[in-house]
Amino acid sequence: MEDFNVNLEKLYHNIYYNIKLSSPKFGLLKCLINQGYIDAQLLFEPSPTSTFNNLSHINAIFFHPNIQHSIIHSFTDDCSLYNTNYRMVVCAISKSDFITINLNAV
């Protein structure tokens, strides 16, 4: 999960059309995508809501495809508690897939 400070729409466009990525900032994201990590917002929004100044999608939560079945929902939130021009990316994950109760505990 990160504020990558790169325009993810531009990244996805360049990858789709096989255009060379000019900024070194794209390196980590391209590596994540090449390793099969998925942007949670893309599961629920074909065109993710902008997260910065209502102009671009620069925040994301990437997860490994092995836990894709555990993702319940992903959305953006206006962060009404803070005076900011960013929107927060929120991802709801099923806790039952990660936290189990040990009945043998004393």
How far apart (Å, rounded) are the C-alpha atoms in residues 39 and 75? 11
pLDDT in tens, 54-77: 677 778 889 999 988 999 998 888
Overall pTM > 0.85:
no
| DSSP letter for each residue of 67-81 | GGGGEEEEEEE--TT
Question: What's the Cα-to-Cα distance from 69 to each of 28, 45, 65, rounded to whole Å?
Answer: 24, 16, 8
**28-37 pLDDT, tens digit each:** 888 899 999 9
Q: Residue 47 gets which letter from DSSP?
A: S
